[in-house]
Amino acid sequence: MRIRKFEGYDEKQIYRDIRDELGPDAVILSTKKAKPAGLFATLRKQKVEVTAAYEERLAEAAAPPPPDSERRIEHLNRELNEARAELDRALRYADSLRGGYRDAVISKFYDTLTARGVSPGAARELLDELDAASDTGELSIPFVMKVVMSKIVQTIGPPAPVETYAAKTGEPLVVMFVGSTGVGKTTTIAKLTADFILNKGLRVGLITADTYRIAAVDQLKTYADILGIEVGVAYTAAELSELIETMKPGRDIILVDTAGRPHKNRANMAELKAMAAAAPGALTLLVLSLATQREDMESITRAYGEICDYRLVFTKADETERLGSILDICRATGKRVAYITNGQSVPDDIKVISPDAAAKSLLGLGEV
């Protein structure tokens, strides 16, 4: 009895080769699959090694195999076709990593932006025009950097903090904070209240309509006690309207906390709409957590957009490296950003957003 090994990528074809060369009575001793190695190993097919045993006389009695030259050519053709298919898969995979861009510099920017959480669509919107320009020659990194940063800054737009909307009528400005549960509305209000009182010398009124969570009322009252002001509690839209009118005399600004509303719950959103109607002329700040998935943030902004106009506040920038949602949400909504928060410290961990700093952060050049 003699033993021979056969190798290839198609296990069925190997078995056919064994039958043709050794005859139908050949015995398969083992079949092994070897894991591919190298840069594109995940795209390569596994190589198969089959060990067969046969009696020499049986092999001689089997149908005569084709001449060695023909068998060799057939084998080489199979390997060539497999190599071509493997190369094609590798090139398609490489193109997907580079966003399909030919220019290496633009591809690097695409990878950086998407790694920071910018959606592929938004990244391409920033880079496609540059890719067309690359036909005339390779683009320099400083040039691409300048263009991309300019486009990001333009998309985010000028910051829109509360100070830019100060009332001109002599009445206090009413600012209502809305958003989903757990995004940090109450903490954000506490930070701004401390800043307005301690740093800007404003007379602040506080109202909470978040009566679903007793802890939220207590949390706001704790901050208010420290700052020496009172908190009004509104259980209904009518009570909110009455409280605002009561607080107006002697106040520069009135901040209203609302309950977190699941944006898919129509009843809860209807309640919020009634609350918003009780404060006509109020500036609304929609608070979004950067730890929320981009698709969910887009759904939230659409739902709140049906209720009121708003400006954006992004929270929890310290809890994620993927800050690309800032660009995507500004691009999708056209809304301006007031503030960004990056921690729990009151009042320090909040600041007016800097579009320049945000652009640098999305390119991996610093913190937002």
pLDDT per residue over 68-125, tens digit each?
667 777 777 777 777 766 665 555 545 544 456 767 888 888 999 999 999 999 999 9
In a domain, 150, yes or no: yes
**Distance between CA 7 and CA 30 in Å, rounded?**
12
Residue 71 shares a structural domain with residue 188:
no
pLDDT per residue as tens digits for the range 5-46 = 888 878 888 888 888 888 877 777 778 877 665 444 455 567
Task: Give how many domains the chain has, as a whole number.
Answer: 3
What number of residues does the chain have? 368
Token pair for residue 240? 């909110």
Q: What is the pLDDT of residue 58?
A: 46
In angstroms, rounded to a whole number, what is the distance separating the alpha carbons of residues 281 and 283? 7
Token representation of residue 202? 């404003």
pTM: 0.70
Considering the domain architecture, whether residues 236 and 213 belong to the same structural domain is answered as yes
Is 357 part of a structural domain of the chain? no
- On whether residue 362 sits in a domain, the answer given is no
Round to whole Å and give the CA distance between 146 and 253: 39
Question: What is the secondary structure of 24-83 as a DSSP string?
Answer: TT-EEEEEEEEPP-STTGGGSPPEEEEEEEE-HHHHHHSPPPPPHHHHHHHHHHHHHHHH
CATH code assigned at 236? 3.40.50.300
**Structural domain boundaries, residue 115:** 100-156
Q: In the Cβ-directed half-sphere of 74, how many Cα atoms lie within 13 Å?
A: 10
Q: Which residues of 24-43 are buried (b: 16+ CB within 10 A; e: fewer)?
A: eebeeeeeeeeeeeeeeeeb
Q: Is residue 149 part of a domain?
A: yes
Q: Is residue 365 situated within a structural domain?
A: no
- Based on the fold, state whether residues 124 and 143 are members of the same structural domain: yes
Kindly state whether residues 63 and 191 are assigned to the same domain: no
Q: Which of 201, 185, 204, 183 has the alpha carbon at shortest distance from 193? A: 204
Q: pLDDT tens for residues 148-180?
A: 999 999 999 999 999 755 555 678 899 999 998
- Do 217 and 334 share a domain, yes or no? yes
